[in-house]
Amino acid sequence: MSEIIRRVPEHVGIIMDGNGRWAKARGLPRLAGHRAGTKNLRRIIRAAANAGIKHLTFYAFSTENWSRPEEEVSGLMGLLGEFIETETPELHKEGARLLHIGHLEHLEPQLRQKIENAIQLTKNNTRIDVILAFSYGGRDEIVTAVRKIVAAGIPAEEITQQTLSDSMFTVGIPDPDLIIRTSGELRTSNFLTWQSVYSEWAFPQVFWPDFDEAALDEVLKEFANRDRRFGGLSKK
């Protein structure tokens, strides 16, 4: 990092937007953009770990993305498999713990096994959590949590906000302090709906494949200067 940052977010979420437009601007097919975006993961994971971020969640594939053309969905599944297979050894060596939020049961058995193996291999690492939100949607997560609570037979009068939080895919992971959406689009897109109520948001005007260490540095410096009040009064 170019400067010492006094206040680093513990948990950062990233909506990796702009892969398709990045490819279109270069006269390439959309999948080429997704491939470039996948290659960018290692760079940002390493930069985040070096900055002291402890949890990094990537919005890789939403529940709504299943409606995209079959060819694109198949390509994205292939890229996920490639990433898990080629990058897990390096992530493990660098102390990253790989986690998944969403629905593994929707994936092909071979891909699901690759993810489960990566999670098992890295489970004791503590430098940074790399959380892949794949086949994930915020509203779906809330519905899934409610179903868990109902199935557990918890009386309605005993249900609290903590009950819901403990039933989310992200149980044990702190809520995101900062969420970054690349490409400049100003939408939350069903990402960490429950967890992001007091998150700070950043919308850098750069497509995900071009979001590099310097771009992350700028966002982190800007975050460090924000006054987070969580519904209370300013401490400044």
Active site residues: 17, 65
Sign of the dihedral defined by the CA atoms of residues 217, 221, 226, 229, in that order: positive
User: Pick from 118, 123, 127, 120: which is nearest to 95 by CA?
Assistant: 127
Q: What does the alpha-carbon distance between residue 171 and residue 48 come to, in Å, rounded to a whole number?
A: 22
- In sequence order, the 6+-apart residues with CB closer than 8 A to the CB of 68 are none
Contact between 135 and 106 (Cβ < 8 Å): yes
Contact between 122 and 88 (Cβ < 8 Å): yes
The CA distances from residue 206 to 6, 30, 184, in Å, are: 25, 17, 7
Q: What does the alpha-carbon distance between residue 77 and residue 135 come to, in Å, rounded to a whole number?
A: 10
User: Pick from 102, 123, 133: which is nearest to 14 by CA?
Assistant: 133
Q: What does the alpha-carbon distance between residue 97 and residue 88 come to, in Å, rounded to a whole number?
A: 9
Q: What does the alpha-carbon distance between residue 187 and residue 118 come to, in Å, rounded to a whole number?
A: 31
Can you tell me whether residue 4 is helix, strand or coil? coil
